[in-house]
């Protein structure tokens, strides 16, 4: 039944239409492939009401998924840690993601798979009563950093907002507990940062909204060990360092070490290896993109042609 408004003036009618703008793209929901604008979630889904959900994001670059296997491993492991499940096997999930991309026709895509707690028929508070919901979609790929920022390096602020500790929410589960990250980002913008890094209770650096961070000092790379998502791009940096014969450590990284680093970069599937040249409005070293950052970034993109790390999409025409 459609809600009928007696006032037919267009300016009044417009209020009752969906004002949101959607990117092009294809979603999978309840066994069907639909435009992203039509994918919907119930207002009483606990994924929405309680952020009771997990997800993963994988990219498609020039028609091929990058490190899809690692993203699927993490998605299934995240679901297990939250006692969530989907009715699809790993192969079936792969086919769904492939179909979303193939139907969208996108050669460069941002692909997200989501499992929410779902709804329970009686609105029961017991999470075991809920029927878990699965959704996936493919939309055009966007980077955290734009072209100019990639070239000159990002300007990052450090927020004093403490990242949700892993003792509260398991940071190895990719999750939608983002209020600390979002408010940190707002604070970062006020301090003329383009993005933000959050600290932990001890004042060590953790991560930012959807990315991990690395510092380089005297040729050695370091990245925060605890209280962070184990990013697939972070893992890829470890793999690239082995190829390049660079030392890389996962350890506590105090805020001061970030400021005194020779080089800083952030990592995410949405953008890869992104240089940082200013932190809290101070230049990192000479304020230019460093040689190791450049070397790791170049190899990262070269590896997008490496057959072991990619899964080509079969497009329909």
Ligand X SMILES: *Cc1c(COP(=O)(O)O)cnc(C)c1O
- The binding site for ligand X (CB under 6 A) comprises 57, 174, 207, 210-212, 229, 231-234, 267-269
- Residue 172 or 260: the one with the smaller Cβ distance to ligand X is 172
- 118, 111, 110: which is closest to 86 by C-alpha? 118
Q: What is the smallest separation between the CB atom of 210 and ligand X, expressed in angstroms?
A: 5
Residue whose CB is less far from ligand X, 230 or 246 = 230
Please check whether residue 277 is in contact with residue 156, taking contact to mean a CB–CB distance below 8 angstroms: no
Residue nearest to ligand X (CB): 231
Choice between 71 and 155, CB closer to ligand X: 71
Helix axes 291-302, 232-244, angle to 10 degrees: 100
Cβ at position 282, least distance to ligand X in Å? 24
b/e per residue 9-46 (b: at least 16 CB within 10 A) = eeeeeeeeeeeeeeeebbbbbeeebeebeebebeeebb
CB of 273 to ligand X, least distance (A): 10
Residue 119 or 158 with smaller CB distance to ligand X: 158
> Between 37 and 77, whose beta carbon lies closer to ligand X?
77
Exposure string of 121-154, with b = 16+ CB inside 10 Å and e = fewer, is: eeeeeebeebebbbbbbbbebebbbeeebbeebb
| Nearer to ligand X among residue 164 and residue 216 (C-beta) | 164
CA distance 53 to 176: 7
Minimal distance in Å, beta carbon 207 to ligand X? 5
Give 154 or 229: the residue with its C-beta nearer to ligand X.
229
Task: For the CB of residue 32, give the shortest distance to ligand X in the complex, in Å.
Answer: 27
Closest distance of CB 233 from ligand X, Å: 3
Residue 57 or residue 250: which is nearer to ligand X going by CB?
57
Minimum Å gap between C-beta 192 and ligand X is 23
Give the shortest CB-126-to-ligand X separation in angstroms.
Answer: 28
| Residue 285, CA distances (Å) to 31, 106, 203, 222 in order | 53, 39, 22, 16
In the complex, least distance from residue 116 CB atom to ligand X, rounded to whole angstroms: 16
Nearer to ligand X by Cβ, of 229 and 253: the residue is 229
């Amino acid at each position: 039944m459609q809600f009928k408004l007696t006032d037919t003036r267009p300016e009044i009618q417009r209020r009752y239409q969906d004002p949101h703008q959607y990117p092009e793209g294809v979603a999978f929901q309840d066994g069907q492939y639909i435009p992203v604008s039509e994918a919907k979630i119930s207002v009483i889904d606990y994924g929405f009401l309680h952020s009771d959900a997990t997800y993963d994001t994988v990219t498609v670059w020039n028609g091929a998924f990058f490190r899809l296997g690692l993203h699927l491993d993490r998605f299934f492991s995240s679901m297990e840690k939250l006692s969530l499940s989907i009715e699809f096997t790993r192969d079936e999930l792969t086919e769904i993601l492939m179909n979303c991309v193939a139907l969208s026709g996108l050669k460069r895509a941002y692909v997200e798979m989501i499992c929410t707690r779902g709804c329970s028929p009686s609105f029961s508070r017991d999470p075991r009563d809920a029927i878990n919901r699965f959704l996936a979609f493919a939309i055009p790929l966007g980077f955290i950093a734009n072209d100019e920022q990639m070239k000159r390096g990002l300007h990052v602020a450090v927020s004093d907002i403490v990242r949700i500790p892993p003792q509260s929410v398991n940071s190895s589960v990719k999750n939608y507990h983002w209020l600390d990250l979002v408010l940190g980002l707002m604070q970062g913008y006020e301090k003329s940062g383009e993005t933000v890094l959050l600290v932990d209770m001890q004042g060590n650096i953790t991560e930012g909204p959807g990315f991990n961070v690395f510092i380089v000092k005297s040729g050695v790379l370091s990245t925060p060990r605890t209280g962070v998502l184990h990013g697939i791009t972070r893992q890829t940096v470890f793999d690239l360092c082995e190829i390049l014969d660079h030392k890389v450590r996962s350890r506590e990284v105090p805020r001061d070490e970030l400021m005194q680093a020779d080089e800083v970069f952030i990592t995410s599937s949405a953008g890869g290896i992104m240089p940082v040249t200013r932190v809290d409005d101070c230049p990192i070293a000479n304020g230019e993109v460093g040689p190791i950052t450049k070397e790791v970034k170049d190899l990262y993109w070269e590896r997008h042609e490496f057959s072991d790390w990619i899964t080509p999409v079969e497009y329909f025409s």
